[in-house]
Amino acid sequence: MSKPRANLRLSTKLYDALCRAAESPGVTKTAILEASLQQYLFPDDDKELENRLLSRLDAFDLRQGAIERDVALTMETLAHFVFYWLCRTDPLPEGERDAAQVLGQRRFDYFIEQVARKIVSGSGLSDRMSADIEPAAFPEEELD
């Protein structure tokens, strides 16, 4: 069955571009024009790719939100800890600093070991946080 014929008048610039595009092997002017008209006249037929991209972007947005929540939680926790530590810790006398540094290094090594275990096991604090908890649910408290 033959296809209906259509005569078109194109600008010289557009016709030259069409001829250059049709120089590739296996590409015809008719195929280029049909694809162009198909996309122009029936744009909804090509929505599958757009829908797949949108769903992937939505998933990316959810993951990005979780990352932002975790970073905010980490920063707030660190800020409160440093504030509390600076307010409550007295300076050490000169003679006790070496022993305190050794003890501090042992405690820090133990702390890092515990954090690594929590991360590897997937049972960290951020994993236990529920995404639906509103920040307003926690009253603002000042450390004295």
In tens, the pLDDT along 14-51 reads 999 999 999 989 999 999 999 999 888 888 777 888 88
- Stretch 50-74: mean pLDDT: 92
- Residues with Cβ within 8 Å of 59's Cβ and at least 6 positions away in sequence, in order, are none
Give how far Cα 122 sits from Cα of 76, 140, 142, Å: 21, 29, 31
- The residue that leads in pLDDT, 138 or 89, is 89
What's the pTM? 0.45
Q: What is the pLDDT of residue 144?
A: 41
* Per-residue pLDDT at 140 exceeds 60: no
Q: Which two tokens stand for residue 71?
A: 């970073």
Q: What is the pLDDT of residue 131?
A: 43
- d(Cα 16, Cα 62) in Å, to the nearest integer? 47
In a 10 Å sphere around its CB, with 0-12 CB exposed, 13-18 middle and 19+ buried, how is residue 110 labelled?
A: exposed
Q: What is the pLDDT of residue 138?
A: 47
Q: What is the pLDDT of residue 127?
A: 64
Q: What is the pLDDT of residue 132?
A: 45
